[in-house]
Amino acid sequence: MNASLLNPFTITHPTTVQTSLVSGASFARFDPSGKFLAAARNDGSAVIWDLDTRATIRWCEGHVKGVTAVDWSRNSRYILTASKDWNIIVWDLASPYDPPRRHATIRFDAPVVAASFHPRNSCILLALLSTGETYIIDLRSSHRGRFELCEEDDDDERTRPIMTTARFDPTGRYVFVGTSAGTLYVFNVRTRGLVARHRIAGAGVIKGLEFAKGGRRLATNSSDRTIRQFTLSNYPAPPTPSTTNGASFPMGSPADPNPNLNGASASETNPASINTHQIVETELEPTHKFNDPISKVAWRAMSYSPDGEWLAGGAADPATHKIYIWDISNDGQFASALDGGREPLVDVHWHPTTSRLASTTNQGTILVWHCPSPERWGAFAGGFEEADENVWYEEGESEFDLEDEAELALRKKLREDEDVDIVGGVEDDDLSGSPLPGPRPSLSQHALKVGGPNDGVGGQGTRDDDFEWADDEMDDDCKGWRMKILMVEGEDGF
């Protein structure tokens, strides 16, 4: 809440290490509220840290091999862990137990290298396997199934490029998939059909994708040791699939409250029956290219700041812990390089609301970076100003004159009796400046008129088919839930 009240002109990039967490982690992810940090470990567990107390509050122990992906639901109630043991586990942090209750378990036929929640509904998941296959998993009873994302016109699997990375875009409409051939595929989540195919010249293998908060800017990390930023355009709306060509098939019992989608994907959709529209095929031109021209270092990970004005890149330097930061608002100029010591970096992630970073070393230590703000003593007294050096103070004529206390009390009482307008502030109801006749609309009616969270692109007040589909059978991840803090005194978990 207080983050929205900060002056945007004073927010800058992190500069120093605030604290270090010894957790044996391979990477770490902030939750959407920014209060907790999930650390994935190679022993098959995930640890949740409370950043205020710097203590572990949950241990998610359910895998027998290293955790490869961690993701939070939009309100932080559910957390997803994927592992090399071919499983994805969804944990319910609202349960008062440690480890938390398993909300769902999904098993595949190969190790899972990446997984994430849908931005609008945690019952929809995205998974990338080590074999190069990408799946959308739908846990809703009326849409239950596991659907593979693939090209419909590529009959020869030997010539098909391997999918190396996959991400939901921030709106949840599309899935962006990077390949080993430097190609970027765009799939519609609702229809599972291919929408666009982009070529990136000279990129090589695409190793990572990162979106700015608005979703219009995309950064790619490729094997040519270059981070590229692109500005995405709008994609045409796909046709609505019919019920006879594989839009949705049941998988398992729809009445199962704790679904376990094991075995092969018996409900895969045939994309050839959906992709009857024209696929956009273009070559993306980057707006910026970021690299190290001196050392030619590769990049482990990258992350945007909450406002999208800064981009952090973690260098794959075997001798140092380096984080490069570029100023996107200043034409992508290089801003600074953060030095975290001699332990090499393996991952970096930006805080969702403030100017903080979490970088992970190869020894499992998480470094939390922040931007220290200088103390402003003048803020404690509004009538005074800070001075860089001593100055002679000239006293005003009546500055320290004594006043009658009875008169001050009477003046204060008169101010308390004045009527306060708590609903005013807007004189007119329309943009033309003329008041409208009749009663004023309520706040809820005004919100519906302006546009709510279910509006389509452009905020025209009309619902979007993709959003309607995603909002069907919503999960229990609502605002206002509380996590029970569980800590064991005197026990060192590491």
pLDDT digits (tens, 9 = 90+) for 428-486: 444 444 444 444 444 334 333 333 443 433 343 445 889 999 999 988 888 878 777 76
Contacts made by residues 285-289, CB under 8 angstroms, sequence distance 24+: 285/230, 286/200, 286/228, 286/229, 286/230, 287/229, 287/230, 287/231, 287/332, 288/228, 288/229, 288/326, 288/328, 288/331, 288/332, 289/226, 289/227, 289/228, 289/229
* CB 189 within 8 Å of CB 173: yes
How many angstroms separate the Cα of 71 from the Cα of each of 102, 127, 277? 15, 11, 33
Q: In what order do the strands lie in the sheet with 25-30?
A: 25-30, 36-41, 45-50, 55-61
pLDDT digits (tens, 9 = 90+) for 24-36: 999 999 999 999 9
Predicted pLDDT of residue 245: 38
Q: What is the mean pLDDT of residues 61-89?
A: 95
Q: Which residue has the higher pLDDT, 226 or 7?
A: 226
* CB 342 within 8 Å of CB 369: no
Q: In what order do the strands lie in the sheet with 78-83?
A: 67-72, 78-83, 87-92, 101-107, 260-261
**pLDDT-based confidence at 294, cuts 50/70/90?**
confident
Give the chain's length.
494
Distance CA 25, CA 31 (A): 16
Q: What are phi and psi of 470, to 5 degrees?
A: -70, -30
The 3-class SS string of 89-143 reads EEEECCCCCCCCEEEEEEECCCCEEEEEECCCCCCEEEEEECCCCEEEEECCCCC
* CB 74 within 8 Å of CB 123: no
Nearest to 69 by CA among 124, 130, 21: 130
Predicted pLDDT of residue 381: 66
Nearest to 304 by CA among 320, 334, 327: 327
**pLDDT-based confidence at 21, cuts 50/70/90?**
very high
* CB 239 within 8 Å of CB 335: no
pLDDT digits (tens, 9 = 90+) for 297-333: 999 999 999 989 999 999 999 999 999 999 998 999 9
Against a cut of 0.75, is the pTM above it?
A: yes
How many angstroms separate the Cα of 260 from the Cα of each of 141, 149, 274, 296? 12, 21, 27, 45
Q: What are phi and psi of 131, to 5 degrees?
A: -85, 0
The 3-class SS string of the chain reads CHHHHCCCCCCCCCCEEEEEEECCEEEEEECCCCCEEEEEECCCEEEEEECCCCEEEEEEECCCCCEEEEEECCCCCEEEEEECCCEEEEEECCCCCCCCEEEEEEECCCCEEEEEECCCCCCEEEEEECCCCEEEEECCCCCCEEEEECCCCCCCCCCCCCEEEEEECCCCCEEEEEECCCEEEEEECCCCCEEEEEECCCCCCEEEEEECCCCCEEEEEECCCCEEEEECCCCCCCCCCCCCCCCCCCCCCCCCCCCEECCCCCCCCCHHHCCCCCCEEEECCCCEEECCCCCCCCEEEEEECCCCCEEEEEECCCCCCEEEEEEHHHCCEEEEEEECCCCCEEEEEECCCCCEEEEEECCCEEEEEECCCCCCHHHHCCCCCCCCCCCCCCCCCCCCCCCCHHHHHHHHHHHHCCCCCCCCCCCCCCCCCCCCCCCCCCHHHHHHHHCCCCECCCCCCCECHHHHHHHCCCCCCCCCCCCCCCCCCCCCCC
Q: What are phi and psi of 224, to 5 degrees?
A: -85, 15
How much is the CA Rg of the chain, to the nearest whole Å?
A: 27
Predicted pLDDT of residue 404: 75
Does residue 243 surpass a pLDDT of 70?
Answer: no
Residue labelled with tokens 């209060």: 35
Strands 217-222 and 280-283: unpaired
Predicted pLDDT of residue 92: 93
Does residue 426 surpass a pLDDT of 70?
Answer: no
* CB 298 within 8 Å of CB 278: no
Average pLDDT of the chain to the nearest whole number: 81
Nearest to 169 by CA among 86, 223, 242, 230: 230
Does residue 288 surpass a pLDDT of 90?
Answer: yes
pLDDT digits (tens, 9 = 90+) for 122-172: 999 999 999 999 999 999 999 999 999 988 765 555 578 899 999 999 999
Q: Which domains does the chain have, with CATH numbers?
A: 11-237+277-370 (2.130.10.10)
